[in-house]
Chains A and B, each alone.
Chain A
Amino acid sequence: MVKYTYKKIDRITFSLLSPKMIKKMAAAKVVTPELYDREGYPVDGGLMDIRLGVIDPGLRCKTCSGKLKECLGHFGYIEFARPVVHIHYVKTIMTFLQSTCNDCGRLMISAEDVLKYKSKMDKALERNDTTTFRRISKLVRLSSRNIKKCPHCKTKQFTVKLEKPTTFMEDNKRLNPIEVRARLDKVPDDDVYLLGLKAEHARPEWSILTVLPIPPVTMRPSITLESGERAEDDLTHKLGDIVRINQRLFENINAGAPEIIVEDLWDLLQYHVTTYFDNSVPQIPPARHRSGQPLRTLSERIKSKEGRFRHNLAGKRVNFAARTVISPDPQIGLNEVGVPKQIVMELTLPEFVTEWNIEWLKTFIKNGPKIYPGANYVIMIDGKKKKISAETQELLITELSPGQIVERHIVNGDIALFNRQPSLHRMSIMCHKMRVLPGKSFRLNPAVCNPYNADFDGDEMNLHVPQTQEAIAEAEILMEVQTQVMSPKNGLNVIGTIEDAVTGNYLLTKDLTMSKEEAVQLLLSIGVTDTERLKKFKANVNGKEIFSAVLPKDFNFIGLCKSCKKHKVCQGKKCETDSFVHIKDGQMLSGIIDTNTIGEGNGTLLRDIHRIYDEITTVDIFGKIFRLGIAFLAKRGFTVKTADADMPEDVQNKVKVILDLALADVDKFIAEFHAGKLKPFPTKSLEDSLELMILQRLNEARNEMGTLIGKTSRPGNSTLVMSQCGAKGNLLNLAQTAALVGQQALRGKRIDRGYKERTLSLFKHNDLSPEARGFIRHSYKKGLNPIEFFFHAMTGRDSLMDTALRTPKSGYLYRRLANAMQDLKIEYDFTVRDANQSIIQFSYGDDCLDVSKSDGGTIDVKKIVSEVAGKND
């Protein structure tokens, strides 16, 4: 049986370890730097003492008699011959030395001040206001410093200075840690409190170490190399040094060695202890391996991205995960993911045996781990895990009883979490239903590429199989694809049809008719099985009727196309570009389908479907629309060809005229500039104004060409069709391929770098003409000349650098935002509060509206009004 633990960590208090506590929690005292004896057995009183835990299989811990992995390890301790300073508490020690009397140990402020500050700090602590608490204690610190005479016992005070990193100097005499400790010892608890410490948790003298806790061996395991040699952990090395020097110090003191030798050894001990805690202290050479590589000691283990916090605690490794290349499959549902058999047989799902599913589960065990669909393990009632193999199969089937758990292979319809990094928003991890498919890649519907920001140029994705019923339910209800259609970023849909599916639907709904047979064939192939509806088709079927067949019968919709001319009064059904999309009772009456209605981000039609119908219907309709587009396009045929960028002779001439006009204008500007006749823009220098004018004129020319090509292209030009319906590309792309690439802009200016006063050595100095400043007069199709090619490469490299530099910057901003805001939540009273329960907003966003449930950030009242008004028509 699974054993449940009801224990929960309620709080964690941090404090300093007192020497007494260190000794109390220790299982052994370490006295020798030796690790193993000649047989390779850990030495008693050594650093690998088996009282501190075991890391060798077979050995048993002497303290708790646990074996490897059963025993978590136990602390030990060593006793220092002379006390040493803990490097991280040097600042605190300094405060105490400066703020307390060198004789009586009292805080050097007057008695009234003590009372005043104490009550303030008590109050702050009551409110749990650590910021104020710290601020006041800092005030105490500052006002008690640099006092010449103790206000209590009138002893003369000397200035204490810190010689970094660990030496304290008073009046140019060295204070050794024994003396320091003696002083800290004298400070009364109340004064300790005023300096910001709580005496029950941290007495100042505990920051001078007289004993050192030795961490358990399990925390610093040694590795056995192939050669049979043992390689010890960095911490063990460091501790070895400490113990060795400590022993020598003991011996020397006992032998009555001269003070200089003792001092030197003491300093050496201090160095080792300091580097044990932190090996990156400035002013101290880091302790190194024999190879010269610095040791990774305690502080380094905690710090930074690879440290304990961010690497092991805030981010954890999981089981039941898979990763492979992704590829597209529009035939599976949006909320499905195709999973290879190999993966499905490895990732299992624990299924509780009940009397109702026992026969079904037996078939899995019968198949075993090698035949799909089989099972890999059975977990018995006592919690023991048994592997299913040819030998154990028979027995397990006969013994199978309710209460056991079978870890069976995944079958179609089991759910999984699907993820692509970087996981920038919550749609980066969604729940899909698994479907076992041949092949070795994950298959996903191209419509969900957008939320994952995935493409198929070699992207890999991760799959996680939730293992408990609770997790499965949560994943299914909260994370499934259909629940994530609307983005919480702006209330627009992140899932929509893309590329070919858009083109297909566009061409289908734009003046097209086909025979009834063809139409029925097309619709059946995408899974529309509403035969009643198909029967109603006439001999010739309109494209709009075909599209209507995928819509629900009671669906009403009004929307606009991308081609909408934005007339002041909408022309409605009489629109000359057929831009008024009107659907009444599931019948499309007018309009053309394009990205404005079914695309991602602004797919108004998809959003309405999502809002009105339940989630399963929504996904079903989304899938059908997508497949309809693709199926139709496959039937019709659609090719992008180089000839799309061909221009008839007259257009070529027109292009030339536009270009010549622009170049003439630019020449005129330059001539005016040289003649000093150019009128600059206000507050801009003459040079800047010229640059701006040239840049504007040339871009204007390029845009003119775009519109020219858009107008004069052969109707049905595939590239143009794609740009018209918003599937891919725009007019500028076409203009650049067909007419000219245009001016290359580097950091918002024309190219003006390279050689002195010229971009390339073949130009004259200060040549301001377009061709010398990165203007490309050829088209991609015609080809660029070497100079143009070079300029093009310059801007290309610049944008590459931009991306490379931007990613870490925005990543860090994101990390900071996430860390600052992670604990903010909506309370039951709809206020927004942080973990401290302090209120950030009284009602979220002033109206408590969930952006992901809104329509682009609001509720569209007009839609409701027109719905109600339209009903009575």
Chain B
Amino acid sequence: MIDEGLLKEYKGKVPEPLLNDFRKHATDFNLNKKQQKEVLDKLLERYMTSKIHPGEAIGVITAESFGEPSTQMTLRTFHLAGVAEANVTLGLPRLIEIFDARKEIKTPMMEIHLKSQPKDDRELERLISMIKEIKLSDILSEISVNILHMYIEVKLNKSRLRDLQIKEEEVLKAIQVSMKNIEVSEKDGLLIIKPKLKEITLPAVYAIKEKVKLAHVKGIEGISQVLPVKRKDELILMAAGSSLKKVLEIDAVDETTTISNDIFEMVRVFGIEAARQTIINESSKVLNDQGLEIDARHIMFISDLMTTTGGIKGVTRSGITGEKESVLARASFETPIVHIINASLSGETDYLNSVVENILINQPVPLGTGLPSLVTSMKKEGGKKK
């Protein structure tokens, strides 16, 4: 039995997760009240001695914790995560991508969770077909240019259409919507695509033919692949390509758990806290895959730093470093001339309260043992008190 009254005394002194651990193990070992007190006292003592010291240069430690293992990572971009799953960027390139806060990532992916498990394969397939982008080229069996009439003839793959549950009229409409300068009609089971140009030349028709092939017919644009994957007991859909907004519009999709690996997409749709969690999850994924053990605190710390302002700042010269207050700190990183010139124009002052500036001018750095300072007035060299 856990003595809740006793436990309450330690709340706020010892972090909650540790108390939960205690609750679990104390029950397992069936400790009596005296023993419980002893354990909690010991735990409190351990916690107090394990607390981090004020003045610790935690930023440098975190940077080291990432920098050192990153030299051991593989450069190989793609990784076959099992047979059924698609290729994802992993390793050092992905880590760089995350910390750079790139707008365009190499392999955007969505993890689509469903509100209820699909009953059978047909339902699943229907769902997939709603998400996966189908282009004209996926459903045609023949496409050719009729030189005589200067138009394009498209013969659709009927069986494929049936499989995907698309009607021919839908195709016709979709093509008409997705391209401007054409006129689509149907004749003898063929789709006739007439270019609407001032001057119809053969090369122009050919160019349109190539474009029409990529015309969007069904699904969500930019999603090239959708894979059903079993995760524990749940069936989820892994989609290559990211378009959260449109996916969430689908009724069967569970909007509380569906996520993307694109950080900016997550900010746009779910907000900054979700983006912070995405940074944490994505970088942990890379590190786990490489078999590197880095404490969660470090990963959290970087994500917090990248998202504190409410927007996403990358670890780049235009991101975190570029927005530092100190001119010298910015100048010592990259493009020193630009920073100095701009500083001189706006008459910026460097108050020398961080690290590099003080190294540059040979003064103690305000971190660790350099942090404490005296609050009393000192005797001046002459002997008089200030």
**Most chain A beta carbons < 10 A, residue from B329, B333, B369:** B333
Complex Cα–Cα for A302 and B61 (A): 29
A847 lies within 8 A of B68 (CB)? no
Q: Which of A14, A196, A303, A848 contacts B51 (CB 8 A)?
A: A848
Q: Shortest beta-carbon distance, B19 to chain A, in Å?
A: 9
**Least CB distance, B69 to chain A, in whole angstroms:** 7
* Smallest CB gap from B317: residue in A: A816
Output the least CB separation between B212 and chain A (Å). Answer: 25
Residues of chain B within 8 A of A816, CB atoms compared:
99, 315-317, 321, 333
Interface digits, A191-220 against B, CB 8 Å rule (1 contact, 0 not)? 000001110111000000000000000000
Q: A12-B350, A14-B349, A846-B300 are in contact. List 11 more A-B contacts (CB 8 A).
A: A9-B361, A9-B363, A490-B295, A682-B84, A748-B76, A814-B66, A817-B62, A817-B315, A824-B60, A830-B51, A861-B43
Residue contact B332 to A309, C-beta cutoff 8 Å = yes
CB neighbours of B296 from chain A (8 A): 845, 857
Instruction: Determine which residue in A696, A839, A868 has the highest number of CB atoms from chain B within 10 A of its CB, and name it.
Output: A868
B363 engages A841 (CB within 8 Å):
no
CB contacts (< 8 Å) of A133 on chain B: these are 346
Any A CB within 8 A of the CB of B170: no
CB closest residue in chain B, given A201: B347
Provide the bound-state CA to CA distance between A782 and B355, in Å: 59
With a CB–CB cut-off of 8 A, which chain B residues contact A817? 62-63, 66-67, 99, 302, 315
Give the Cβ gap from A165 to chain B, nearest Cβ, in Å: 15
Complex CA gap A224/B28 in Å reads 83
Give the chain B neighbours of A849 by CB distance below 8 A.
15, 47, 50-52, 297
The answer to whether B43 touches A809, judged by C-beta atoms less than 8 angstroms apart, is no
CB of A569 closer than 8 Å to a CB of B: no
Let me know if B35 and A872 touch, CB within 8 A.
Answer: yes
Q: Tell me, yes or no, whether A584 is within 8 Å of chain B by CB.
A: no
**CB pair A825 B59 closer than 8 Å:** yes
State A835–B326 Cα separation when bound (angstroms): 9
Q: Which of B18, B53, B78, B356 contacts A850 (CB 8 A)?
A: B53
Mark each residue of chain B from 44 to 75: 1 if its CB lies under 8 Å from any CB of chain A, else 0: 00110111111111111111111111110111
Task: Report if A104 contacts B (CB, 8 A).
Answer: no
- Chain A residues lying within 8 Å of B51, measured Cβ to Cβ, are 830, 848-850, 853
Whether A426 contacts B64 in the complex (CB less than 8 A), given A748-B80, A826-B52, A836-B325, comes out as: yes
For B362, list chain A residues within 8 Å (CB): 316
> Known interface pairs A201-B346, A840-B304. Does A868 touch B325 (Cβ–Cβ under 8 Å)?
no
Q: Does B235 contact A (CB under 8 A)?
A: no
Q: Which B299-357 residues sit within 8 Å CB-CB of chain A?
A: 300-302, 304-305, 308, 315-317, 319-321, 323-329, 331-333, 336-337, 340-341, 343-357
Question: Is A810's CB under 8 angstroms from B52's CB?
Answer: no
Q: Across the interface, do A821 and B63 meet the contact criterion of CB distance under 8 Å?
A: yes
Q: How far is the CB of A474 from chain B (nearest CB, A)?
A: 6
* B60 and A818 contacting across the interface, CB-CB below 8 Å: yes
A692 CB within 8 Å of chain B: yes
Which of A201, A492, A821 lies at the interface centre, i.e. has the most chain B CB atoms within 10 A of its CB? A821
Is the pair A840, B54 in contact by a Cβ cutoff of 8 Å? no
Given contacts A816-B321, A845-B301, A857-B297, contact A869 B347 (CB under 8 A): no
The answer to whether A313 has its CB under 8 Å from any CB of chain B is: yes
Q: List 20 A-B contacts (CB under 8 A).
A: A12-B357, A89-B341, A201-B345, A424-B68, A425-B68, A489-B295, A489-B298, A492-B293, A681-B83, A814-B68, A816-B315, A821-B60, A821-B302, A822-B356, A824-B59, A825-B368, A847-B17, A851-B298, A857-B297, A861-B39
In the complex, how many angstroms separate the beta carbon of A237 from the nearest chain B beta carbon?
21
Complex alpha-carbon distance, A89 and B337, angstroms = 11
Per-residue contact bits, chain A 305-326, to B (CB 8 Å; 1 contact, 0 not): 0010110011010000000000
**In the complex, number of A-B residue pairs with CB atoms less than 8 Å apart:** 342
Q: Contact between B67 and A826 (Cβ–Cβ < 8 Å)?
A: no
Q: Is B190 an interface residue (CB 8 A)?
A: no
B interface, size bucket: 35 or more
The answer, yes or no, to whether B38 is at the interface (CB within 8 Å) is yes
Question: Do B64 and A490 touch across chains, with their CB atoms under 8 A apart?
Answer: no
Minimum CB–CB distance from B297 to chain A (whole Å) comes to 3
Q: Which chain A positions have C-beta within 8 A of B328?
A: 12
What separation, in Å, do the CA atoms of A489 and B295 have in the docked complex? 6
| Nearest neighbor of B22 in chain A, beta-carbon distance | A861
Give chain B residues whose Cβ lies under 8 Å from the Cβ of A6. Answer: 378, 381
Chain A residues positioned under 8 Å from B378 (CB to CB): 6
- Does B294 belong to the interface (CB within 8 Å)? yes
**Chain A residues near B (Cβ < 8 Å):** 6, 8-16, 88-89, 92, 128, 130-131, 133-134, 196-198, 200-202, 278, 299, 302-303, 307, 309-310, 313-314, 316, 422, 424-426, 474, 478, 488-492, 681-684, 692, 696, 747-748, 802, 805-807, 809-811, 813-814, 816-830, 832, 834-836, 838-841, 844-851, 853-854, 857-859, 861-862, 864-869, 872
Q: What 0/1 pattern do residues 346 to 386 of B give for CB contact below 8 A with A? A: 11111111111101111100111101000000100100000
**A825–B58 contact, CB under 8 A?**
yes
The distance in angstroms between the C-alpha atoms of A682 and B82, with both chains bound, is 12
What CA separation (Å) do A426 and B39 show in the bound complex?
Answer: 34
Does B140 reach chain A (CB closer than 8 Å)? Answer: no
Q: Taking the complex as formed, is B86 at the interface, i.e. its CB lies under 8 A from any CB of chain A?
A: yes
- CB <8 Å contact, B21 and A821: no
With the chains together, A844 CA to B58 CA distance in Å? 9
CA distance A805 to B25 in the complex (A): 48
B129 adjacent to chain A (CB < 8 Å)? no
Q: Check: B143 CB closer than 8 A to any chain A CB.
A: no
Assess the A198–B295 pair: CB atoms within 8 A.
no
Asked if B86 and A11 sit within 8 Å, CB to CB, the answer is no
Question: How far, in whole Å, are A717 and B51 apart by their CA atoms in the complex?
Answer: 47
User: Which residues of the partner chain B approach A865 to less than 8 Å between Cβ atoms?
Assistant: 22, 25-26, 28-29, 31, 39
B96: nearest residue on chain A (CB-CB)?
Answer: A813
Q: Does any Cβ of A come within 8 Å of B42's Cβ? A: yes
The answer on a CB contact under 8 Å between A845 and B300 is: yes
Distance in angstroms from B25 CB to nearest chain A CB is 4
Determine if B150 is an interface residue (Cβ-Cβ < 8 Å): no
A813 touches B65 (CB 8 A): no
Closest to A681 in B: B83
Task: Report B172-190 residues with CB < 8 Å from chain A CB.
Answer: none
Residue of B at shortest CB range from A809? Answer: B92
Cα distance, A851 to B294, chains bound together (Å) = 10
